[in-house]
Structure 1
Amino acid sequence: MKFHWYLSRIMTLSALTISSTQAFSDQKTTLDFQAAQQTILQVVQQMPDETAKSSAGKGLPAIVPETKAAEAKKSISYHQRSNSYATNPDSDPPRYVRRLSDIGVEAFKDVTWLEIGLESRMRYEHRHNDIRRIEGGNDDPFFLRQRAWIGIKEILDPFRFAVEFQDSRIYNNRFVSTDQERNEYDLLNAYGELYFKKALGADDRGNDRPVRFRVGRMAYETTDRRFIARNEWRNTTNTFEGFRLNLGREANDWELDLFGMQPVRRLQTKFDEANDNLWFFGGIGTLRKWSDIATLQTYYMGQKQTGDPNGFTATNRLDREIHMPGFRVYGKASNILDFDVSYNHQLGFSGPNRVDAHGYTIEVGKTFDHAWKPRIALFYGYASGDKNPNDNVDNRFDRFFGFARPWSADHYVIYENLKAPKIRFEFSPTQKLGFEVGYGAYWLASSKDRMFDILDGNISNTIKDPGFNRDRTGQSGDFGGHAFEGRIRYQATSRISTTLGYTHFTAGEFVKNRIAATSCATLHKHPCTDQRSGNTDFLYFEVLISLL
């Protein structure tokens, strides 16, 4: 899908509409993002404290659950959040976006139809002997990510549109940057939509059941974020070009989400382009009728790829077709336990091979009745790996476009070829302060398949995969290693959130054996792996600022 024609018209309409509001009549016609940030920040600092407090909930993720008063206000909605770790999708539009009437400026109090947002994130990382690299030693990069949103709703109904800008950069990095870290001056969202507020009437609680048809560029996440996600931790963001049709909305007792999209190639210093060789499509049905106990999601997702002879990876050069039916159910068993369970099966073909793979997740947790809201959770995730590299069956589970970080904070494993038990404990002594600790272990579901993101084996358009992360004989074993993770979150103000995290990874037999087998002393050629234990340390500090 070619996007530029559509984008030019959205931007033109946006400019005409905004210029009609006198609020921006004295602004420059060209956008200086950093100058705009400073201007908005000055306005924010002048806002009354009460306004800042009232708008904090949408601007930044809450450290502790909502108060009973807030929950009661939303009781008309059928939607219930899952208590499982990191599985709740970001809102649409994202949390940092708000109506202009809500930012606390008297002149804008009646402008309810314009949505805006500005967000800045800075993160420092220290990695010691990172096994994602074939070279050991230290790496101390700084990541910067800036976002801006502008959207029009209601005033032009049924037509609505939105544009989201992002600039992602990396500094002080030892290794060459990839499209996971750098993506300068690009668009995450640039879409138009038709929104019919009461097209399907209302549900039993009186919530309007709308129909929404969206076309253009879209970055969003859904279900438990394991297959479609914005990848909030990563410095760059997944986005797509295509269409999305929604029958119903999050507040309703049922909802149907249909989509057909092409993933966007992230080009580090050029304008991103849709991947014309790959289509991603599917439908997601959500039933919330009994959401006080359980929410059920059933879905079908698929990918169809036409092989690109000039593709960067071997997978890019294959004709592939994958079909995945699946389901997820989550909820609470009274006040005893909460749960989140999913199962997915994948069928189709990848080049000459038949695809037959599956994956599932199970999490149960308990939140104790205490002022600090302590919660303990047990998790197990499984994703099949290729059992035999010499047969005509590919058993490697494909995560599609899902998140990676919650599987391992240091990004060594993802939702493929994996057996991962975890235990996690978290508590919040105050509304502003939260602590999390966890322990996880990682086995390969198949010792003959790869451990995804180790020894330069990551999928990017920058680094060639030397193949060091797989032992086709299976003789390197199947234990990847285990890790201790800790995180402290502190919300300094209603608009500033900070996070300090640390992970220590202890290598298992597979990692140790792959380092030994691909070491420079063994291969006597480049590329080769620095000989080391495989144990790693990962420390990071992050500041997230919502400027409105």
Structure 2
Amino acid sequence: MKYFRRMALASAVGILSINPLQAEVGRKLSGDSGATQQGAQGVGQARVSDVDKWLSQSDGNYKWALPSLDTSAASDKPAAPLPAQPEASKQNTSYYRRADSYATNPDSDPPRYVRRLSEIGVDALKDITWLEIGFEHRTRYEMRHNDIRHVEGGFDNPFFLRSRAYLGIKEILDPFRFAVEFQDSRVYNHKFPPTDQERNLYDLIQGYGELYLKDALGEDDRKQNRPLRFRAGRMAYEVLDRRFLARNEWRNTTNTFEGFRLNLGQQDNDWEVDMWGMQPVRRLQTEFDEANHHLWFFGAIGHWRKWSDIITLQPYYMGQKQTADPNGFTATNRLDREIHMPSLRGYGRIGNLLDYDLNFSYQFGTNGTQVHDAYGYTAEVGRNFNYAWKPRVSAFYGYATGDRNPNDNQNNRFDRFFGFARPWSSDHYVIYENIKAPRIRFDLQPTQKLGFEASYAWFWLASKTDRLFDSFDGNISVTKDPGFNRDRTGRSGDYVGSALELRVRYQPASRVNIVVGYSHFIAGEFVKNVIAAHPTQIDQRSGNTDFFYVEVLVSAF
């Protein structure tokens, strides 16, 4: 395994050393293509696949930058000719339907920035369909004022840089397939010490081998192959609505795991089963990452799509088993823990009137010497209006229990496992634990390349005796947690505050995406009272915060 890692890392250095500007010049000389070749899948199926790849960006940053179902992909050059129209019987056979809820569709597999070599627009490579490549770079500037994640107030103006490269081999060696993905994450001009959420120098986020048996389980009713896929190695991927297992695309570093994954069926089938057993990888900022051998994460997901025009059902189970790490950085790391979580998700549409997405999860097990007993649920309803600017209105409510009594033998704090933080709060103050969070959202897309979002959210602690996750150096500190983010007496109250969030998304070219965002957080009684209660440890301020950012994402292919 160490030999494989060293070889993979050496390959990564070669790939990442390619100058993106040189790659761009090469593309311009060779021609650009906005349409992809999908072979026998047909035009209808090909376009659905392409849309999914564009829409899959984690937190919805780039869900707007998609090729229309009626036109080729947006491009600053003419699109390549589309394949010949296939027979009608070969179109739109997939049972899969995307969820319309905000930012809940997992990234594609392989990731959205990856293309087959035959699809990059170079005529000499048009027959190389078995090699997948990708390179992307993201730069984000942030301006934060009086960020309540820290005890120190004032301004912070960091720059976050993230580069990724992907290389995959498929079909030519079937049933054996392989893939590696590398990432380099850096932060500059940050006034706080970097953490593993911000920095992770040259490292491997994927490196696996796969056994792919295309028709091992026969066909479904629509004559689509039902394959069997077994992967082993290091993996980074997303499932369900991304609230429990996600790559965490907004964050500058990525969740990744080592272990195995078994899939029965594929996304297009009427049913599919996804199972895994993995150990999360510790992100070591300046060293090669390694698996956390004290923790196993396992689960199984069923996908029932037979009625997907009305509802897609996803019953699932996830679990964690942790043995105490005496050298663990947090108190939680130093406990024996075992959590089981049976759950059910259902999403779909009610005709052309409304779309919906509902999920309920119950957790039980042990947390050190305590009994673990918690639950959480999310609900979103929305409507798309058939006007030129594609307006959408949606309402969301999320709830997760907090620890009701800090002195009893029960732990009621809901565990989000390895899910994403956004879009609970763009400021990263709130995650899927100890929270009541209603939100209203409004979206507009005046053109295919331009989109606007506006939302307003309110936050309450589900239990006022439990913590507000990322506040006052409680969880991202590189030093010991000072404990300011929890008032065990409950006297600080339960109202956290509210937030106005705005975002503009623009795609000036087919491989360039720009996002400009702003959030204003208005502190509630809990935040104000915590600040006032620690006059010597926390900079005294109103609790209100401002967050502005500009993000540019460039892909090479």
Output one character per residue of 1:474-506: Cα deviation in whole Å (capped at 9) or x when no partner: 000000000000000001100000000000000
1:45 maps to 2:47: no
Looking at structure 2, the residues matched to 326 and 118 of structure 1 have their Cα atoms a distance apart, in angstroms, of 36
Output one character per residue of 1:379-399: Cα deviation in whole Å (capped at 9) or x when no partner: 000000000000000000000
Looking at structure 2, the residues matched to 484 and 272 of structure 1 have their Cα atoms a distance apart, in angstroms, of 37
2:489 equivalent in structure 1? 473
1:529 maps to 2:538: yes
Structure 2 gaps of 5+ residues are: 38-49, 73-87
1:544 equivalent in structure 2? 553
Letter in 2 for 1:4: K
1:315 maps to 2:332: yes
- Taking a change above 3 Å as real, the CA distance of residues 9 and 168 of structure 1, as seen in their structure-2 partners, is closer
Q: What is the CA-CA distance between 1:66 and the residue it aligns to?
A: 5.5
2:78 equivalent in structure 1? none
Q: Give the superposed CA RMSD.
A: 1.9
2:164 equivalent in structure 1? 147
- Taking a change above 3 Å as real, the CA distance of residues 30 and 231 of structure 1, as seen in their structure-2 partners, is closer
Structural mapping, 1:89-488, within 5 Å: 89-459=106-476, 462-488=478-504
2:2 equivalent in structure 1? 4
Q: What is the CA-CA distance between 1:9 and the residue it aligns to?
A: 7.3
Letter in 2 for 1:97: V
Looking at structure 1, the residues matched to 184 and 161 of structure 2 have their Cα atoms a distance apart, in angstroms, of 8
Percent identity over the alignment is 64
Instruction: Tell me if the contact between 1:321 and 1:350 (Cα under 8 Å) persists in the aligned partners.
Output: yes
- Taking a change above 3 Å as real, the CA distance of residues 10 and 195 of structure 1, as seen in their structure-2 partners, is farther
Looking at structure 1, the residues matched to 351 and 491 of structure 2 have their Cα atoms a distance apart, in angstroms, of 47
Q: What is the CA-CA distance between 1:32 and the residue it aligns to?
A: 6.0
2:68 equivalent in structure 1? 67
Q: What is the CA-CA distance between 1:44 and the residue it aligns to?
A: 1.9
2:512 equivalent in structure 1? 496
Looking at structure 2, the residues matched to 485 and 62 of structure 1 have their Cα atoms a distance apart, in angstroms, of 17
SS in structure 2 at match of 1:31: helix
SS in structure 2 at match of 1:407: coil
Output one character per residue of 1:327-373: Cα deviation in whole Å (capped at 9) or x when no partner: 10000000000000000000000001000000000000010111111
SS in structure 2 at match of 1:316: helix
Looking at structure 2, the residues matched to 182 and 10 of structure 1 have their Cα atoms a distance apart, in angstroms, of 20
Q: What is the CA-CA distance between 1:463 and the residue it aligns to?
A: 3.4
TM-score of the aligned structures, taking structure 1 as reference length: 0.92
Instruction: Tell me if the contact between 1:53 and 1:494 (Cα under 8 Å) persists in the aligned partners.
Output: no
- Taking a change above 3 Å as real, the CA distance of residues 401 and 85 of structure 1, as seen in their structure-2 partners, is same
1:513 maps to 2:522: no
Instruction: Tell me if the contact between 1:419 and 1:442 (Cα under 8 Å) persists in the aligned partners.
Output: yes
Output one character per residue of 1:413-435: Cα deviation in whole Å (capped at 9) or x when no partner: 10000000000000100000000
Q: What is the CA-CA distance between 1:10 and the residue it aligns to?
A: 6.9
Looking at structure 2, the residues matched to 499 and 350 of structure 1 have their Cα atoms a distance apart, in angstroms, of 41
- Taking a change above 3 Å as real, the CA distance of residues 182 and 74 of structure 1, as seen in their structure-2 partners, is farther
Q: What is the CA-CA distance between 1:455 and the residue it aligns to?
A: 0.3
Output one character per residue of 1:420-468: Cα deviation in whole Å (capped at 9) or x when no partner: 00000001000000000000000000000000000011156x2321110
Looking at structure 1, the residues matched to 319 and 91 of structure 2 have their Cα atoms a distance apart, in angstroms, of 34
Instruction: Tell me if the contact between 1:387 and 1:448 (Cα under 8 Å) persists in the aligned partners.
Output: yes
Looking at structure 2, the residues matched to 44 and 174 of structure 1 have their Cα atoms a distance apart, in angstroms, of 39
Instruction: Tell me if the contact between 2:15 and 2:165 (Cα under 8 Å) persists in the aligned partners.
Output: no
Instruction: Tell me if the contact between 2:65 and 2:507 (Cα under 8 Å) persists in the aligned partners.
Output: no
SS in structure 1 at match of 2:105: coil
Output one character per residue of 1:262-296: Cα deviation in whole Å (capped at 9) or x when no partner: 00000000000000000000100010111111100
Output one character per residue of 1:164-220: Cα deviation in whole Å (capped at 9) or x when no partner: 000000001011100000000001100001000000111111211100000000000
Looking at structure 2, the residues matched to 481 and 190 of structure 1 have their Cα atoms a distance apart, in angstroms, of 42
SS in structure 1 at match of 2:527: helix
Looking at structure 1, the residues matched to 407 and 265 of structure 2 have their Cα atoms a distance apart, in angstroms, of 47
Instruction: Tell me if the contact between 1:260 and 1:281 (Cα under 8 Å) persists in the aligned partners.
Output: yes
SS in structure 1 at match of 2:526: helix
SS in structure 1 at match of 2:394: strand
Instruction: Tell me if the contact between 2:9 and 2:204 (Cα under 8 Å) persists in the aligned partners.
Output: no
Output one character per residue of 1:106-136: Cα deviation in whole Å (capped at 9) or x when no partner: 2211110000000000000000000000000
Instruction: Tell me if the contact between 1:129 and 1:138 (Cα under 8 Å) persists in the aligned partners.
Output: yes
Looking at structure 1, the residues matched to 36 and 362 of structure 2 have their Cα atoms a distance apart, in angstroms, of 44
Looking at structure 2, the residues matched to 11 and 118 of structure 1 have their Cα atoms a distance apart, in angstroms, of 15
SS in structure 2 at match of 1:361: strand
Equivalent of residue 18 in structure 2, options 22, 26, 35: 35
Letter in 1 for 2:486: R
Instruction: Tell me if the contact between 2:322 and 2:337 (Cα under 8 Å) persists in the aligned partners.
Output: yes
SS in structure 2 at match of 1:540: strand
Instruction: Tell me if the contact between 1:178 and 1:463 (Cα under 8 Å) persists in the aligned partners.
Output: no
Q: What is the CA-CA distance between 1:92 and the residue it aligns to?
A: 0.4
Instruction: Tell me if the contact between 1:6 and 1:216 (Cα under 8 Å) persists in the aligned partners.
Output: no
Looking at structure 1, the residues matched to 554 and 376 of structure 2 have their Cα atoms a distance apart, in angstroms, of 36
- Taking a change above 3 Å as real, the CA distance of residues 30 and 458 of structure 1, as seen in their structure-2 partners, is closer
Looking at structure 2, the residues matched to 388 and 80 of structure 1 have their Cα atoms a distance apart, in angstroms, of 42
Q: What is the CA-CA distance between 1:6 and the residue it aligns to?
A: 4.8
Output one character per residue of 1:126-174: Cα deviation in whole Å (capped at 9) or x when no partner: 0000000000000000000000000000000000000000000000101
Structure 1 gaps of 5+ residues are: 16-28, 521-527
Looking at structure 1, the residues matched to 121 and 270 of structure 2 have their Cα atoms a distance apart, in angstroms, of 34
Letter in 2 for 1:512: K
Q: What is the CA-CA distance between 1:11 and the residue it aligns to?
A: 7.9
Instruction: Tell me if the contact between 1:10 and 1:191 (Cα under 8 Å) persists in the aligned partners.
Output: no
Looking at structure 2, the residues matched to 545 and 458 of structure 1 have their Cα atoms a distance apart, in angstroms, of 31
Instruction: Tell me if the contact between 2:236 and 2:256 (Cα under 8 Å) persists in the aligned partners.
Output: yes
SS in structure 2 at match of 1:498: strand
- Taking a change above 3 Å as real, the CA distance of residues 244 and 532 of structure 1, as seen in their structure-2 partners, is same
